Structure formats: C-alpha cells, structure tokens
Structure 1
Amino acid sequence: MQIPLVMTVVGQDRPGLIEAIARLVRQHGGNWLESRMCRLGGEFAGILRVNVPTEKKDVFVQSLAGLKAEGLTVVVQPDVAMPQKPGSVALLSLVGQDRPGIVREISHVIAQHCVNIEELETECSSAPMSGETLFSASARLFIPQSCDVAKLRADLELIAADLQVEIHFEKAKETK
C-alpha cells in the first residue's frame, strides 16, 4: 500500500537539488506525482507530492533529514485529500506600477469573498518605454458556489481603480 506525502523544500539554489530529492524518492520505492518548484533570488523552493510504500515511510522521512547537510530544509506532511467542493475556477491577472501593498489589498478582497487562491505568480519588471517598475500577477482562484461572483468582480474592479492597476478576471470552469 502507498501513502501520499506532501513535501516542501527550501535551500540555497545549486545544480543537483532536484536530483537529490528524486534519488531518495526512488530509493525508497516512491513515485513522484506532482510538483511546483522554482528559483527566486538565490534560493530554491518547491512543493511536491509523492507516494511511498507505507512500510518505508518512516525510513524515507528520516533519509530526507540527510538533505540538511546538502543545504536543504525539507518538511513532510501527510497528504490529506480534501473533498472537492462545488464551485468554479477563475483566472485573475493584474498589471500596474509597482508599489507596496498590491498583493495584500487584492488578497484581502479575495479572502473577504471566501475565495481560495490556489496558485499565485508575481513579478516585477521594467516598463519598456518609461523604465518604471511594473508589477504583474497571475492567480488561479477557486470560487465556492456560495460566492456572489458579480460582487467579487465589482470589488476587484474597485480595488484595482484605487491601486491604479489593470485587472482581468475570467471565470474558467465549473467543478463538481
């Protein structure tokens, strides 16, 4: 029998980090299911989901502690499958002149509507003509059935005007 685990991994970036993790997963009879990983600044961060044989779980988790010597901090949690609630998925994108508080203000509006941010990617870049710093964000949102999507959209447009950013909100698909 297999047991699903969710792992977070953080450490100074260098070649071979993912291989070190994958090697331990494989050595313990595990299977790499899905992951999101990236380098920001000089740091590497990732979250991944693996299956390992139930009888090898404890030894596997202990072996991950050995990655500390390679500069990686690993946290392992059981993957507790949450039942999918009815609702929909939406995509949100934003761009505007960078300033402190954009993520806080947008995420506050989203949280007030009990909407979950499932994925978030942000970036600062230089505007082509002016050289000003532009902030951009893209997010995948889970919207519960109980959410008033029109009110959410209106509140997002209101905060976008206050922040002087452009927001694009698109409801993507229904979930069961």
Structure 2
Amino acid sequence: MDHLVLTVIARDQPGLVERLAQCVADHGGNWLESRMSRMSGQFAGILRVAVPDESRAELMGALQALGAQGIRVLFEDGGGEPAGSWTPILLDLVGNDRPGIIRDITRLLAEQGVNLESLVTEVVPAPMSGESLFHAEALLAAPQGMALETLQGSLETLADELMVELNLRAEQ
C-alpha cells in the first residue's frame, strides 16, 4: 500500500466529499484521515489515503479528472513522521483581532524548535462590546525535554506585547 496526501479545493456544493470518497473507493483506496472545512463559499481539505501500488496512477488520474467538475486536487507522497521525540502541548489564545498575531506567535515557536501540528483560528464578536476577538487553538510538538514553563515564559512575554491571553497545557 502506498500513502498519498491530497489537498482539495472547490466551490462548496452538496455531494463533494462523496465524489472524492467514491473515487478513492473505486480504486481500492482507503480514506485514513482528513481535515476539511467550508470557508467563504469554498470547501477545502487535506486527506491521507492508502492505495494499492498498482492502482495509484489510475486513482491520481481519476482525481485529476474531477477538475472538470470544479474540484481541484493536488497530490504528495505520504512521508514519515519527523525524527526525534516530541511532547504534545495544547495552546489556546484569545485577544482583540489585529494583523500579525499568527506571524508573531509562529515565529517565536519556530525559534524555539516547536512544530505546529494543527491550527484552528476564528474571529468572533466579543460578548459585550461586539469588537472582533481573535481565537486560536493549536496542537504543538515541543522538542522532548523542553520544559513547559520555558515555552510558557517565552510566549507570555510575546502575549503581553500582543495584548492576548495565552494558555498552554500538556496534552493528556
């Protein structure tokens, strides 16, 4: 079995995921994991499928043919996991919305050697004032041996500058 990572984008429409799933199944593939969402009328997702080696080229051709229906699919070979041991950490951030929050947080994380495993963000109205609040939830992979307190201290200094509330906790 070969693993493919697919990136999908299309105008949102009923049956879109079913067409992808049917295409994978028609070629003996197995849908392993995915993250998908609708945003501003577009549907985007990333998924990992296992496909028999002998069906790989046919599956890729069939997925590319979905372009005629407005479904764009990009492919990459599935890779292994990064080397080394990692500690999973959950990050939760809330603050007044402004440009650059994610840029500044991810720069600090990269400088500390912390990998961003997943990230979900949204801008929502504040309960009382109606001002725009930025909310981010992330799963981080910190190098084994990095103390949570060390990362917390670095991020808290930046959080004060950005005027956001930031919480870190080890994933159970």
The two structures share one fold, judged by TM-score above 0.5: yes
Asked whether the equivalents of residues 106 and 156 of structure 1 are also in contact (C-alpha less than 8 Å), the reply is yes
Q: Tell me the distance in 1 between the aligned counterparts of 2:152 and 2:133.
A: 23
- The amino acid across from 1:82 in the alignment is E
Deviation digits for residues 136-170 of structure 1 (CA, Å, limit 9, x no counterpart):
00000001125454332111001110111100011
Deviation (angstroms), 1:9: 0.5
CA deviation map 1:42-70 (0-9, x unaligned): 11110111111110100110111111111
Note the C-alpha offset of 1:10: 1.0
Find the residue that maps to 1:24 and give its secondary structure.
helix
Aligned-residue sequence identity (percent) comes to 45
The count of aligned residue pairs is 172
Residue-by-residue CA offset, 1:27-56 (whole Å, 9 max, x unaligned): 001111111100111111101111111101
Match for residue 164 of structure 1? Answer: 163
**In 1, Cα distance between equivalents of 2:37 and 2:71:** 14
Matched, 1:76 2:80: no
**d(CA) in 1 for partners of 2:21, 2:120:** 25
Please tell me whether the aligned partners of residues 35 and 49 of structure 1 are also in contact (alpha carbons under 8 angstroms). Answer: yes
Deviations, residues 109-153 of structure 1 (Å, cap 9, x unaligned): 111101000000000000111010000000000011254543321
Structure 1: which amino acid aligns with 2:85? Answer: P
Report SS of the residue matched to 2:150: helix
Is contact 1:102-1:163 (8 Å) kept? yes
Cα distance in 2 for residues equivalent to 1:141 and 1:150:
14
Q: Distance in 2 between matches of 1:19 and 1:116?
A: 32
Deviation at 1:84, TM superposition (A): 5.2
For the 8 Å contact 1:3–1:52, the answer to whether it is kept is yes
**Contact 1:96/1:136 (CA < 8 Å) preserved in 2?**
yes
Aligned-residue offset at 1:77: 1.1
Q: Do structure 1's residue 56 and structure 2's residue 50 form an aligned pair?
A: no
Structure 2 counterpart of 1:12: 11
Q: Which residue of 2 aligns with 1:85?
A: 84
CA RMSD of aligned residues (A): 1.3
Matches within 5 A, 1:139-154: 139-145=138-144, 147-154=146-153
Q: Which runs of 5+ in 2 are unaligned?
A: none
Paired letter, 1:109: L
